[in-house]
Amino acid sequence: MAGGLLQATSLPVIVAATTIGLKLDAIRPANAAALVAAGPLSVIVFPLTALPLLNRSRESARPGPEEPR
């Protein structure tokens, strides 16, 4: 899950896709602006969400204390 969030931050792809969509008249300028505005938000929010997930998975993978014999 954390890896997916970290890889989902692809602002250049969003900008390129909206530019192509505008050139082809496939999307309206307001929609393109909204998509581009959401891009930086994902660049900020997704890593902040992924880091606690990574820490949680590291803690669960860490071996616990050994039991006394």
Tens of pLDDT, residues 18-56:
999 999 999 999 999 999 998 888 888 888 888 888 887
pLDDT of amino acid 56? 79
pLDDT band at 66 (very low <50, low <70, confident <90, very high): low
Of 38, 67, 47, which is closest to residue 3 (Cα–Cα)?
A: 47
The residue type of 9 is T
What is the tally of structural domains in the chain? 1
Q: Would you say residue 24 lies in a domain? A: yes
State the residue range of the domain holding 13. 2-55
45: tokens are: 């929010």
Q: Is residue 25 part of a domain?
A: yes
Residue 43 falls within a domain, yes or no? yes
Biggest distance spanned by C-alpha atoms of the chain:
73
Cα distance between residue 28 and residue 21, in whole Å = 8
User: Is 28 within the bounds of a domain?
Assistant: yes
* Helix intervals (H) in 26-67: 29-61
Residue 26 falls within a domain, yes or no? yes
Q: How many CB atoms lie within 10 A of CB 51?
A: 13
pLDDT tens string 6-15: 777 678 888 9
Q: Is the pLDDT of residue 67 over 60?
A: no
Whether the model pTM is above 0.75: no
